[in-house]
Amino acid sequence: MTRSPATPLPPPEERRRLRESRSLTQDQLARRVGVSRETVRAWESGRTAPRGRKGEAYAKLLTTTTAAATTTTTTATNPEPTEPFTPARSLTPTEPAKSAEPSGSSESFKSSESSGSSGSPRRSTEPPARSAARRAVREPPARSSLKETVDPASLTPAQAFDALYAFCAPALVRQAYLLSGRRDLARESVERAFQLAWERWPEVARDRDPAGWVRAAAYEWALAPWHRFRPRCRHPEPPPSQPVDRALLDALLRLPPPHRRTLVLYDGVGLDLPETAAETEASTSATASRLLHAHETLAARLPELSDPLVLHRRLAELASAEHLRSAEPPEVRDGSERRARLRTRAVIAFTVALIGATALTLHTAPTRYDPPVPPGETVQGVPPRVAPGPLSGEERELRAKLREELLHGPERLAPQSR
């Protein structure tokens, strides 16, 4: 028989926010309470309710978190990586926004934590050396995270979109460059992805991971096979200036697109294997096979990349060396709206043309049915018409005589007596 905790618990939708306000990951909270990460995830989603002594400890921890939720500083006694800013929380109207803290697991081209279906970081038990390398190559705080806490009730859709774009676009451009090897195509992929997000903004704003939604759309555009038929994509772009960067980019572009995408998500963005499989829409075993094949191929071409730490650092250096810039948020929103207007006008024009063609057809079409005239048929059993033959001289004289007699009338014949 278990009992409910005496300390009142907040609603399930508030539990994760309170945890993140203290910059605690699910793993850290699970270790403090003495449960597994899956249990904490179930408590935060509302699938199960905390009970017993562990539930009491969980409730007390959230209660103390509530008192400290107004501050955005990270606990100095917590040396483990903290969870970075998640744009989904600041863009959901039903939940207050939370501040972003620089994460020890962020890298130079990582935009945000991709939560997938669990909302957890990639690997909370990664080696300290790799965590240090991630901190050493991460972006400046001004470009990698949002520092200010905003009230979601005061955000307009355009402001929320601009915040998501400013947070994700710079890193997504570099990721798209690793996938495509083309600077213009990388910028175009990110702009198209955000234009699509603006067109479907109600859906994206309520998504659990808006950054992951936009990232998937940008990756699909960057890896589309029909780009090879475009005139501007038929000629190669200038390679990177450094020989090591050229070698790495050439090795990446020689990988099949699914393997390349898996490698960038796992070793670049920092997703774990199940999250990478979910984003690439593949099974976990297939994703693991692609990742192993990509690692073997890169290690065969560049032996120094057999170390995951070196591979991560080289990917970050290659992505940051090109200094790729993205467009401003208003330009992206205006481009999306222009495309929507053009499509609307095209649909209206097509509808008007269809209505006009239908009206013209109805006006010129016959109103009654005229059966076609059947072809003639040959009648059997009728004797052929006999034409007169040529007349002889006597017959012509007789004909002339008869014609003359008809003018004066016939002569009377009187009987003669004998």
Same domain flag for 197 and 293: yes
Does residue 407 form part of some domain? no
When pLDDT is averaged across residues 224-238 and rounded to a whole number, the result is: 81
Q: What pLDDT, on the 0 to 100 scale, is given for residue 292? A: 92
User: Do 48 and 105 sit in the same domain of this protein?
Assistant: no
Residues 299 and 156 in one domain: yes
Position 314 confidence tier, pLDDT thresholds 50, 70, 90: confident
**Average pLDDT value over all residues in the chain:** 75
Same domain, 227 and 305: yes
Last residue of a domain, one of 327, 359, 392: 327
Tokens of 149: 């806490």
Please list the alpha-helical segments (H only) found in 138-241: 141-144, 157-180, 183-199, 201-205, 210-222
Please indicate, yes or no, whether residues 28 and 134 belong to a single structural domain of this protein: no
Most confident of the following: 7-11, 20-24, 67-71, 248-252: 248-252
pTM of the model as a whole: 0.52
The predicted pLDDT at position 414 comes to 64
The average pLDDT across 301-313 equals 87
How confident is residue 147, by pLDDT bands cut at 50, 70 and 90? very low
Is residue 360 exposed (0-12), middle (13-18) or buried (19+ Cβ within 10 Å)?
exposed
Q: What CATH code is carried by the domain that includes residue 186?
A: 1.20.140.160
**83 found inside a domain:** no
Cα–Cα distance for residue pair 418/340, rounded to 1 Å: 125
Range of the domain at 13: 1-68
Residue 302 lies in a domain: yes
Containing 340, the helix (H) or strand (E) segment is helix 329-364
Evaluate if residue 38 carries a pLDDT over 90: no
The answer to whether residues 131 and 189 belong to one domain is: yes
Please give the average per-residue pLDDT across 64-73, as a whole number: 46
In terms of average pLDDT, the best of 39-48, 103-112, 148-157, 269-278 is: 269-278
pLDDT, residue 326, reads 76
Same structural domain, 151 and 260: yes
Q: How many domains does the chain have?
A: 2
